[in-house]
Structure 1
Amino acid sequence: MKDASFPEVCAQILHLYSAIDIEKLRAMTNSSFALFNDGKDPLPISALGDTDVRVLDTSLGPTFAFKDIGQQMCGQLLNYVLGKQNKKAKIVVETSGDTGPAAIYGVRGCSNVEIFCLYPQGRVSAVQELQMVTIQDANVHVYRTQGDTDEQASVLKELFRDEEFVRAQSICSVNSINWVRIAAQSSYFVWSYLELVRRGEVKFGAPINYVIPTGAFGNAMGAFLAKRMGLPIGRIICATNANDIVHRTLTTGDMSMGVNVQTESPAMDIQFAYNLERMLYFICNENPDIVRPYMQEVERQYSYIPGAVGAKLDSVVLRRIQEVFSSYSVSDAETLATIKEVDEKHNMVLCPHSATSVFAALHPFKELTATTLTVCVLTAHPSKFEEAVQRAIGRDPEFPPAITALRSMPHKFKTLDKRAPEPEVWRKDWIDILKADIASV
């Protein structure tokens, strides 16, 4: 597989977890990624000046975010399975900004899929919002909420607990709780390593580090999966923003949820990083009896149970985690300063999420990246976060034509508001509305 294209690597990895014929998977991956980067290299890797840091651009799909990679495959596989079974499905998803557009674009216009997507008003970028509310396809249903991403996730989790309703309505999810997302994302860590070997920048078998902007931990989980499959990754470095549950978990074992803070990197404004559970499962030798008590305590806090304070990891578990992972919580000031620094020194404009990974590589982990080749994952196009880029460099980023065209399109969405501040009131309201809409199509 050393000379394989990215679509081929993705197909081979998905084949490890699926009984679907490899030729069918190849057709799906080739179709999914054919138009990434206008048909050129779908995942460009470039050097950051004369440093030992490389940047892997995963943001060149239809919605200009790394989540297009997993969501395109989710859409392809869902369509394939439903077609074979002559069934329909209803996707319910919530987003902090990038998952929603990528999920919608992955299934828009599909006759056998309906998608219901929630996004938080005022907490996504203007472009992210336009990518959702301008979709007129009849199978797309968008909801603007007066909550944050953690509140949205709590509503969806409660909805999915109604197993009878979920089964009767054929409901599924395409958040990174869906394993296809993680498996597909693991493929670009494998492909990028092989590409660097082909270029002669790393000797086959030598370790490299990856620095990953981190919210719900799905992207980092993709890297961890690749490492577990044998990819020689040295360190997986997670760059968070002020919403730092991942950073606290990896450094101190503190799995308590803090207040959800609005930052310059809104797609990472998450306090419930649900993919941490998957990481713990593997770290604990796939023993659910060890993981379950931790997650029960996290769930108690997440469910607003009085007195619940989250979980504290055992020192042995924490030590195992720290054999693989490092992390840093990047401030808004550091994020904007990095966008400015990279623009001035390297003539490259970063989105604020990508900037967190580059900051971590160039500053707190500078000694580590100076001795081992390190790849920073770029996760979104800077034009999706024009206001942050303007604050950093004093000018607009370049806008792809597809994004410019969104500004003149009509909007279609519903609003989910909070008629009372008590969570038990508005959560019930939102669930009732969603259930009624889901059942009506």
Structure 2
Amino acid sequence: MTNAVLTNLAKSRTNGHPVGITSVCSAHPLVLRAALRQARRLNKSLLIEATCNQVNQFGGYTGQTPKAFVGFVADLAAQEDLSTDRIILGGDHLGPNPWRKECAESALAKAEEMVGAYVEAGFTKIHLDASMGCAGEPVALDDETTAERAARLASVAEKIARRRGATPPCYVIGTEVPIPGGADHALDDITPTSADAARETLEIHRRVFTKHNLQSAYERVIALVVQPGVEFGNDNVIPYAPCNTSGLTNLLNEYPAFVYEAHSTDYQSEEALSQLVQNGFPILKVGPELTFALRETIYALDMIASEIVEGYGARPLAAAMEKIMNDEPMYWDSYYKGSTRNKYIERHYSYSDRIRYYWGKGKAQEAWLNLENVLSRIAIPATLLSQYLPDLSLTPAQVSSPQAIVMASVERVLKRYDEACNARPRQ
């Protein structure tokens, strides 16, 4: 579909009626089903984004290339009776991040190939993220270097779109990009990007893109990623403080064609999300909170089955996940610190939800299918639902389906985002 929904975000803001859109950053099939189902029910467009680590030309941690992911989403959409014309596909953090331990030229060459694969597959929203240093470079790069590398990636995207005869993509740029997936430590405070820094980023990118004859690509830059002072770590969440971003909000009056893209909005209140939309951050990215809700509900069902299904065992799904994570620690080991007990708690319950990297593993899928099978054959007593899922409102049809119970939990998160995206400012 066209990106009119995205390009209209700035227009809606300048017309005094800001609206937002939820960016669903997940590759889990139940999360995507829940999002597709909500979009169909509300008759709305759906923005789904895949990250450079989830999906790339080598498969990412999901094992899917961009082309495979597009087919995967299309199959789910068909099953949920939602036209793919209503789906916007975005690529998140597209740049050298997966290969940043390599030298810059090697990492950028792979990033070019990845961006090309995304555009070739039909992704129409591209987040150009070349802000991180590669081997031998500073952790965060200056605006000039970042812009040069972003232009290099945009050039590839433009060529592929022209070759395909496809609508060229819209872009998101930025240099003060929050850590993908959340911080890896406790947070006390986050300093928002200054208006001066954001202005400089926009101007440098404009100049660099023009230098490389990419003016038309720059005209399709719809959003800038800045730090709005919103973040989450393993154990805590920094709530949005609107008073700290007034300078950024006012800056959009100088650049009426732009809005901000808000990363790491997971776990924010509906009021905070609504304030972000009203203040010029209408693209609300959420990912770990969705799989956090999924994990909470699956673990609750695991405990319910342990209580009522003879021979099921004592939380075998949670035990399976613990074994999988310990057998393959690469996705959590460098993120969780402290005692053995603390690492255990973080593996299973942290806000950063790095357990999400493991749901696609064979043993994890076996454990889930076993749980789904045993609970599908019985009626879960209302008293146990009250004990383990007290805040989840379920229909009788949902109660009989473990998959529907999990999706209801995810939809509850998505509903909060939808309400925030369409809220009107308080008088």
TM range (shorter): under 0.3
TM-score (norm 1): 0.25
Scaled by the length of structure 2, the TM-score of the pair is 0.26
